[in-house]
Structure 1
Amino acid sequence: MSKQTRRKFAPEFKAKVALEAVKNQQTLSEIGLKYDLSPVVISKWKSELLENMAGVFEKDSKKNEESSPDVEELYAQIGKLKVENEFLKKSCKKLGI
């Protein structure tokens, strides 16, 4: 007996189906038949879309803060690379390279 694996859907597909559900031009059952999905799943995706819709209009500054790397960590890495560079320069001078 083979085990059935869960299907995984791309975020673009989920958004497309949820948007159709939000439009209310078809029932959830009709959309489910169209995409071979359960109306419960479509309803869940629709509610997630409606909950997170405001995030689209948030200012970019919040997104930039979250995605920007830690400045202190970068300075630490620069310092480490500087020390390594100086060490290699001194080693080359001793070897006459």
Structure 2
Amino acid sequence: MLELLREESTLAEIAKKHDVAQQLISRWKSEFLANMPAVFNKRNEDIEKMKQDHEEEKELLVKKIGELTLDVDWLKKKDKQIIQMRVKKA
């Protein structure tokens, strides 16, 4: 098909090379050209969906990182307070 679309060979040459009827190759080309936009539109839709999913996941991960950072900071603060209390008691 690419050979035909790139016009590297004539329809007759391609048909002979692959032992396929010229009419069949011509029909395949017509069907391919008719359906090509749908294939690429579907692919673009899939890519956009993947981008959207990736962005949503990224936002969730950034939010989670923020929450975990707050938890770690709080634990560090509490750890220092506990150490100071133990030092005062000793």
TM-score range, shorter chain: 0.3 to 0.5
TM-score, reference length from structure 2 = 0.44
- The TM-score, its normalising length taken from structure 1, stands at 0.42
Task: Indicate the structure whose relative CO is greater, using CA pairs within 8 Å and at least 6 residues apart.
Answer: 1
- Find the structure with the greater CA-based Rg: 2
